[in-house]
Amino acid sequence: MSVSWKNDATAMAEAVRSKQVSATELAKEALARVETLDSKLNAFCTPTPELALAQAAALDRAITQGRPVGPLAGVPYGIKDLICTKGVRTMSGAVAFRDFVPDEDDVVVERMRDAGAVAIGKTNVPEFGYSGVGHNPIGETTRNPWNLDRTPGGSSAGSGAAVAAGMCPIALGSDGGGSVRIPASFCGLVGVKASMGRVPLYPGTKDERYPGVSSWESLEHIGPMARSVRDAALMLSVIAGPDERDRRTIPCNDIDWLDAARPRDIKGMRVAYSADWGYAAVDPEVRRVVHEAVRVFERDLGCIVEEAHPGWDDPYAAFWGVVAAESDLKGLREITAKHGAKMTPHIVDFINRPWTAEELTSANVVRKAVANKMWRFMRDYDILLTPTLAVPPFALHIQGLEKIEGRMVAPFQWLAFTFPMNLTGNPAASVPAGFTGDGLPVGLQIVGKHLADATVLRAAAAFEAARPWADTWPAIAT
């Protein structure tokens, strides 16, 4: 078999369509890697070998019969366990949903299947996705392939670990406060949060039949996790586009996703660089690695780079107010009344906090102010560069560091760069910027203007061509 797990999804699909390799061969290799590696990484909470082999066999029959197959023909992939899968349990890392089996697929799962992708399993998440890490009350802790004593980030924890270790070339994640970009940064991957409305969300965040899960509607994005920009774009070409089940979705005919991901000259692009928003504590190693990456845009790519901040005050408290306002607090409080002693403590505290109407409305006011500052700021720039996260991957079984750059901070302040982009809805990607001195990945966040997804992909592809990363693997993968 000339095509192997080291190939990206684009190459795999081309090989399957041209009959260089069968979908079944790729599925078996991916499942064998899961069996070999996942006892160490715990990326998959529910492997689906029978489903994968059935989907692969159906695809091989279609090719043998000369029927057309989709752009992801035969590509193995993982599905984050917050994303609904018909007939396959979707636990959301929660005691209350340990045995929950949806009766319908999420829109993006439908689209991936129709494009020929082969689902090899559900990937692990923290409870309800309310954390940026990879542990929960009901399963084994997901570990970072670059260092098994460190977290892979979350909440798309298992998706990040699976792709980084080469168990599958791509995976679906979701991002309500950074949850695609966080594990992309910690695992050395590409993760894209497209503009709000590009990718449909249903049923996980919108269906009243799932109390306690329906939440984060105006913050949440489903997005690709991959090892290359072109694979992320390929996934977006499949999953993006309007759907009647999501009233927020918008047409996407303004973007040729695959063309946007082709490396090209971006000389003269106007680039803002904010190392810390003007207020955030940032680990010195992260500052160093990201600063070197930003220099590539100026020195090698010919961009006009200027250090500047959008100018908002820290919207951390407002973000959680928006989360509360969009959550099914009634349903969640019923769940904590029954299962609270077995749940993640900070989630129980968040759910049972006596939120006031003024707190919730004030949070929305702050959100509007952040969005207004963002569009005004971006009038002067094509893209904004920041660290993806304030710290490198940290130890397991904590929610975050309490001390960064010599400053005491709240446990989630290491997410200072990701969640504001969920408040504004701007397109944002995390790409590998480099490594710390002890070999841990650091991500660079690339943010675009409102609906300028193509510009984000162009910038990411240009940086990837200047500083290629796809052939760098953690030792466990090889």
Residues marked as catalytic: 80, 155, 179
Q: Determine the Cα–Cα distance for residues 298 and 460; give it in Å rounded to an integer.
A: 14
Give the span between the Cα atoms of 16 and 23, in whole angstroms.
Answer: 6
Say if residue 327 is preceded by a cis peptide, omega within 30 of 0: no
| Contact between 458 and 264 (Cβ < 8 Å) | yes
The answer to whether the Cα torsion of 221, 432, 143, 24 is positive or negative is positive
